[in-house]
A and B are shown apart, each in its own frame.
Chain A
Amino acid sequence: NAGVTQTPKFQVLKTGQSMTLQCAQDMNHEYMSWYRQDPGMGLRLIHYSVGAGITDQGEVPNGYNVSRSTTEDFPLRLLSAAPSQTSVYFCASSYSSWETQYFGPGTRLLVL
């Protein structure tokens, strides 16, 4: 049971490049979500999904896309990277939003 896994661990992008951050879980959780963490702040919700085929926006969705084609995977796409998207990105999963959420190890992204 690997829990929540994220790849890559680190990434450097140039402004304007696109990329996909991968997130997978093997706990059969319906609820998955993406957060970003900036220095001195708590985590902020980007997008979330309550099940395959269903996604919704969080607090800071601009510049990011998501899709949920399977229960296990929830990739986050940066369409055209900007320096303001330099952050640490965390993926989380749970059976539902009102139950314990489990976090992946994070992806550190630097946009130059």
Chain B
Amino acid sequence: GIQVEQSPPDLILQEGANSTLRCNFSDSVNNLQWFHQNPWGQLINLFYIPSGTKQNGRLSATTVATERYSLLYISSSQTTDSGVYFCAVVFDRGSTLGRLYFGRGTQLTVWP
């Protein structure tokens, strides 16, 4: 069935550490986004990345569409990186067209 799985579910880091978050999806996609939900509940777009690699400052993301996974890299983490990171996809098949499916998220806590 349709699945978007994120790992790890929880991650605790000290400031300055690097981390990798993973998103596995069960079928081909035509949309994949990474979001950061900050402690106030706001959802912030990080990347639109159905394939390939992108970088934005300390964050980068890679999606290998043929192998059905995406990775979000956070380097030199800061306390402001804390929050929940979500992966969301739109699957590329008729019955699910137009629907964005979210994973359960990775809860990241960065300690000073």
Residues of A within 8 A of B (CB): 31, 33, 35, 40-45, 48, 50, 56, 58-59, 88, 90, 92, 97-103, 105-106, 108
Contact = CB atoms under 8 A, between A and B. Distances in A.
Interface of B: 4, 30-31, 33, 35, 41-43, 45, 48, 50, 86, 88, 90, 97-105
Contacts of B35: 103
Given A99-B31, A100-B33, A100-B45, A42 B98 contact: no
A42 B88 contact: yes
A61 to B, nearest CB: 11
Main secondary structure on A side of the interface with B: strand
A76 B8 CA distance: 34
Nearest to A58: B99
Contacts of A48: 98-99
Contacts of B86: 42-43
B53 to A, nearest CB: 17
A97 B48 contact: no
22 contacts: A33-B100, A35-B100, A40-B104, A41-B104, A42-B86, A42-B103, A42-B105, A43-B88, A44-B102, A45-B100, A48-B99, A50-B98, A59-B99, A97-B31, A97-B90, A97-B99, A98-B50, A99-B31, A100-B48, A103-B43, A106-B41, A106-B42
Contacts of B41: 88, 105-106, 108
Contacts of B45: 100-103
Contacts of A40: 104
